[in-house]
Amino acid sequence: MSVLVGRDTRVVVQGFGREGSFHAARMKEYGTQVVAGTRIGKGGTTQDGVPIFESVSQAVAATGANTSIIFVPAPAAADAVLEALASELDLVIAITEGMPVNDMAKVAVALAASTSTLVGPNCPGVISPGRAKVGIMPAENFLEGPIGFVSRSGTLTYEIADLLSGAGLGQSTCVGIGGDPIIGLPTPDAVRLLNEDPETEAIVVVGEIGGSAEERAAEYLRAYGKKPAVAFIAGRSAPPGKRMGHAGAIVSGNQGTAASKVAAFEAAGIPVANAPSEIPDLVRSALRCS
């Protein structure tokens, strides 16, 4: 099986404008079922072979969509997420960047009472190579295989997937969770999904400075890990006390530092790469030792 997305994924694209239609075409080329789009004032029309609706609820009723990908601009993105949650979709992926933290705090309240899974915002999406892509990642970087992959960084998702693929280490599912302060699916929960996936044989965790998600993921793997894992922490060379990169990369005291994250993984017996280029060899070694 795959995690979060697969051959039965049926996608509605919220915000079927320039970006939404461009990436919808790339997803369709990959074989993903893009069954609907939403765009205010365009309901009842068809664009690029995709039926357009005024609302997610209309799209779900007409097409059986079970997944949403959101390209709505930041000021309205929270409303788009809430609309998708209200339609009880299995999965909602928010690509939009720049969503206000206060808006995401309201989304988090609704999400806690929802059965939907939210990935993002400010993320590249999810891909199960050879099965489905719901996101903006370059498909050519990914190869079908047994390595599960979780990343807070979009660009590192592409780079490390390419390194793994070039080394013949294909991926089961890659989840780009996003680097904002408040996100739907944090690192520990994404790791848990891969840990419980029978087709995933090893897990790569790519984190960043800031927050405590990587430390919590390391503790989870230490207690419940069923398969080998390898980690990489971006930002290890960042000057102490300086905010870097994503809005979520905020260090408070000794919490969220690169050193604390590396120490947590090493205490769990998980090797930590010093550079992305080291990851394939570490994965091979971990598989041999498992």
Catalytic residues: 246
Peptide bond just before 121 cis, omega within 30 deg: yes
Contact 116, 88 (CB under 8 A): yes
Q: Is 83 exposed, middle or buried (0-12, 13-18, 19+ CB in 10 A)?
A: buried
| CA nearest to 283, candidates 210, 225, 208, 204 | 204
Give the contacts of 36 (CB within 8 A, at least 6 positions apart): 11, 12, 13, 50, 51, 52, 53, 59, 62, 63, 65
